[in-house]
Structure 1
Amino acid sequence: MPISKEKNERLTQVGPGTPGGELLRRYWMPISAVSEMEGRYTKKVRILSEDLILYKDKTGNYGLVQENCAHRRASLEYGIIEPEGIRCMYHGWLFNEEGRCLEQPNEPQEKGFKNRVQLKAYPVRELGGLIFAYLGPNPVPELPKFDLFTRDDVIRTVGACVVPCNWVQIMENSLDPVHLEWLHGRYFEQVFEEKGRDVEDWYFSKHHLKLGFDKFEYGIIKRRLLEGQSEDSDGWKIGHPVIFPNVLRVGDGAIQTFQIRVPMDDTHTYHIWYSCFVAPEGVEIPEDYPISYYDVPLKDENGKFVVDYIDGQDMMAWVSQGEITDRTIERLGTTDRGIILYRQMLFEQMKAVENGEDPMCVFRTTEEAQNIQMPQEKEIFGSGAALFKAAGEWNTRYAPNLQEILDLIQGKKDETKSVAMS
């Protein structure tokens, strides 16, 4: 049954003071890869309908402040970086990571004017090669250390794209197992045929026999049973999680990925693919091995969606629904019960925030935020080769060093037992 216009707005609005926006402000959100800040001092960030500037001061510490200076509203994206913080290039007012004004070079110091000037500022933390921000009220919760952020036996890559649609329709895709069979299966076969490629025994086209959706303490476990599989298969017995509110974990034994959907505003989402390539036994990964960053393409030079790789197909489906899906005219079927469950969870957790309670997946102690392990199937399609092949065929066009990483994981580099710095 379609939902009302009011409920659709409650689901999709992310600005300050909206139910969805207030819920999302209870969570740490990634706003940049650490590697994006190499060789630069500032990055303009839009998150939860706020325009902010991420900066790195001369001591290497990060700050996140409102974009416009409190003086004459010039953009701090072009600020002068100091050891103590960021100085507006227009008149030299200096601000620290707490938004306090430290100096006004051309104002009388004895009047204490600077003590009455404050920028909006938010705490930032670094974890696993990403920079996270918290835009919510005090007390600030712990930054959760989910397993892929802290493992020492993986090589990481970070891909990102600004997707021009609302974040909820992206998340609903993650509670929709059947689209694998069609979007990444039958449609992909057609893409291959158009390119004159062999589509025999395409592994993503297998028919879904059963679907399972189970609540657990961090969100929802999604399970599937495909044609030709037994109920002892990993995909049915274990599945993989959707971590509330905005993370999908997917992969197999060799490649495991967090897809993180960060709402920029009601109609744009900063999407991160945080991929971990598990090193084979005996391969040592240096602690300072670089985390590659790459831009994930949405459209080609002709303005057409790039659909010859899985992530591009997903983005085409998300964006083609419109900036904000009109759920008042949708017609959900029986296979959409995961989507219904997720919407119910969103509404429940919005209500908890309105009642002054912490929503789920907010961590208040260091102990509960440490080393959070997630369930994850290892053999999705019988051999675990599908996602590996997908990464090898398509994403190597965009991710630096990925072919080198894939060769290593496949054991092609027998001459070394360690990963060489590139």
Structure 2
Amino acid sequence: MNRRISDSDLVHTGPDTIGGQYMRRFWHPVYRSQDLPAGQAKPVRIMSTDFTLYRGETGTAHAVDFRCSHRKAQLSIGFIEGDCIRCFYHGWKFDAQGHTVERPGDVEHERPATRIRGYPTEEYLGLIFVYFGEGEPPPLPRFKEMEEPGILDAIVDELPCNFFFSLENDAVHFAFAHRDLLPERNLSGIPKVWAEESDWGVTMFDQWPNSNRIGIAQKGMPNVGYIVPTAILLAKGARHAFHVSWRVPVDDTKHVTFRANLLTVTGEEARQVLESRSPSYYDRSNLGKLGDAILAGEIRLSDIKDRTHIEHIQDYIAQVSQGDISMRQNEQLSPADICVVTFRRVWKRELQALADGHELKQWRLTEKVVPPLSTI
């Protein structure tokens, strides 16, 4: 048996870490589709490694290594030609699989075999997903409920804290971090919470003292959150709001949260919803600055008059304020942290199995996790 896996292994995702090796067995969103026009390339950093993301002239998104194999120039400053990318420095050209297509100036028979690595890429729910693991990728997970007609928003937020700080957000924090929002949601007190392992990860439950309903949040392994609307459990055919999110590490000190939100309204109702949104609904560029100003003591939450994104700002300061990942060594968890403890236990079990060379659990989003609407 290898060394014993601990909580500290969960927060490190570099290529040489056990957590990073596990994370690379899954698909991850890396960019919003609408932000990558055809014929453009972008540098992206995921799990402490740099990559080149580009959209070919055909409209297909591709991901390859960060640097040219020739003189190691950054490929994202190069030229897009068809579905290939040509290095800005000396013109070496690579296809989407990383094969060298052209090496200007070289004599044909003197060319040694050379290539960079290409990574499988798919687009779904307005996001670009990449598989960074070895071998054939697993199927990209699909969310049937998210494919219903309606208003789909893809949202991207970067937070300067470890991805696990966001992954471990639970219902108890709402009673305090979002306490000013409780009245409008007809909630009061502190919720009772519990959790259990599922076919997909961990199911987290909450019930507030003044409510008979049970809230359900699904945590999919390794870094996916899926909010199952209570309406699904209560009334077939009601308006539903679906929410799925991914917490993707940039490195061990910051991460990006990718969200896909679907409101299942169409026609005139959809038009009214879109018209009711304020201009600030789509502008999230200032949220991190506001959060940082609050943490620095320069402003207070109550100073923010536009409350369109107040819940996000509250989450931002709660998660970022937890500080460096080394501070987790001094945590004092309580019974109210049962959801956090359950999620960490599942994560550590899987990392231990990987370290020991044992079989890993195959996670599936089954009907036990999310019952189909037709059965409600």
TM superposition score category, shorter chain reference: 0.7 to 0.9
Alignment of 1:262-411 (within 5 A): 262-279=248-265, 295=284, 297-300=287-290, 303-304=293-294, 307=301, 308=307, 309-324=310-325, 326-356=327-357, 359-361=360-362, 374-375=369-370
1:153 partner letter: P
Structure 1 counterpart of 2:134, which letter?
P
Distance 1:77 1:295 in 2: 25
Q: Does 2:226 align with 1:249? A: yes
User: Whose RCO is larger (CA < 8 A, sep 6+)?
Assistant: 1
Task: Say if 1:202 and 1:241 are closer, same or farther in 2 by CA, change over 3 A.
Answer: same
Unaligned stretches of 5+ residues in structure 2: 232-239, 272-280, 302-306
CA distance in 2, matches of 1:219, 1:96: 37
Q: Which residue of 2 aligns with 1:145?
A: 142
Deviation digits for residues 154-176 of structure 1 (CA, Å, limit 9, x no counterpart): 21111112211111121111xx2
In 2, Cα distance between equivalents of 1:319 and 1:26: 27
Partner of 2:20: 21
Q: Is the 8 A contact 1:48 1:265 kept in 2?
A: yes
| Percentage of matched positions with identical amino acids | 27
TM superposition shift of 1:300: 3.0
- The CA deviation at 1:45 is 1.0
- In structure 2, C-alpha distance between the alignment counterparts of 1:9 and 1:209, rounded to whole Å: 28
What is the Cα deviation at residue 60 of structure 1? 2.1
> Residues 45-84 of structure 1 correspond to what in structure 2 (within 5 A)?
45-84=44-83
Unaligned stretches of 5+ residues in structure 1: 190-198, 286-291, 364-368, 379-422
Question: Equivalents in 2 of 1:302, 1:131: separation in Å?
Answer: 28
AA aligned to 2:241 is I
5 Å-filtered alignment, 1:29-48, equals: 29-38=28-37, 41-48=40-47
1:259 aligns with 245
Partner SS for 1:55: strand
In 1, the alpha carbon distance for the partners of 2:331 and 2:97 equals 45
CA distance in 2, matches of 1:43, 1:17: 25
**Kept after mapping to 2: 8 A contact 1:184/1:204:** no
SS of equivalent to 1:92: coil
Kindly state the Cα deviation for residue 147 of structure 1 after the two structures are TM-superposed: 2.7
Does residue 178 (structure 1) correspond to residue 172 (structure 2)? The answer is yes
**Counterpart residue identity of residue 227, structure 1:** P
CA distance in 2, matches of 1:64, 1:204: 46
Residue 109 of structure 1 and its aligned partner are, at CA, apart by 1.6
Find the residue that maps to 1:270 and give its secondary structure: strand
Shift of 1:334: 0.9
Q: Contact between 2:193 and 2:338, CA under 8 Å: does it hold in 1? A: no
- Residues of 2 paired with 1:304 and 1:164: CA distance? 14
Cα separation, 2, equivalents of 1:206 and 1:338 = 20
1:206 partnered with 2:205: no
Give the drift of 1:101.
Answer: 0.9
Provide the C-alpha distance between the structure 1 equivalents of 2:186 and 2:328, rounded to a whole number of angstroms: 28
Asked if residue 122 in structure 1 is aligned to residue 123 in structure 2, the reply is no
TM-score by length of 1: 0.73
Question: What is the CA distance between 1:242 and its match in structure 2?
Answer: 1.2
Structure 1 segment 78-93 matched on structure 2, within 5 A: 78-93=77-92
Contact 1:208 1:224 in 2 (8 A): no
Paired with 2:352 and 2:291, the residues of 1 have a C-alpha distance of 45
Describe the shift of the 1:37–1:172 C-alpha distance in structure 2 as closer, same or farther (beyond 3 A).
same
1:155 matched to 2:151? The reply is: yes
Q: Any idea what the Cα deviations from partners look like across 1:106-162, whole Å, max 9, x if unmatched?
A: 11122123xx2111221111112211111111132111112344x232211111122
Amino acid at match of 1:375: V
Matches of 2:247 and 2:356, distance apart in 1: 26
Q: Which amino acid aligns with 2:96?
A: E
Is the 1:122–1:133 contact (alpha carbons within 8 Å) kept by the matching residues of 2? yes
Cα separation, 1, equivalents of 2:122 and 2:94 = 19
Relative to the length of structure 2, the TM-score reads: 0.81
Q: 2:154–2:261: 8 Å Cα contact kept in structure 1?
A: yes
Helix, strand or coil at the partner of 2:90: coil
- Equivalent pairs counted in the alignment come to 340
Matched letter for residue 189 of structure 2: H
- Check whether the contact 1:157–1:276 (CA below 8 A) recurs between aligned residues: yes
**Counterparts of 1:40 and 1:373, CA distance in 2:** 43
> What is the match of residue 133 of structure 1?
130
RMSD of aligned residue pairs (Cα, Å): 3.0
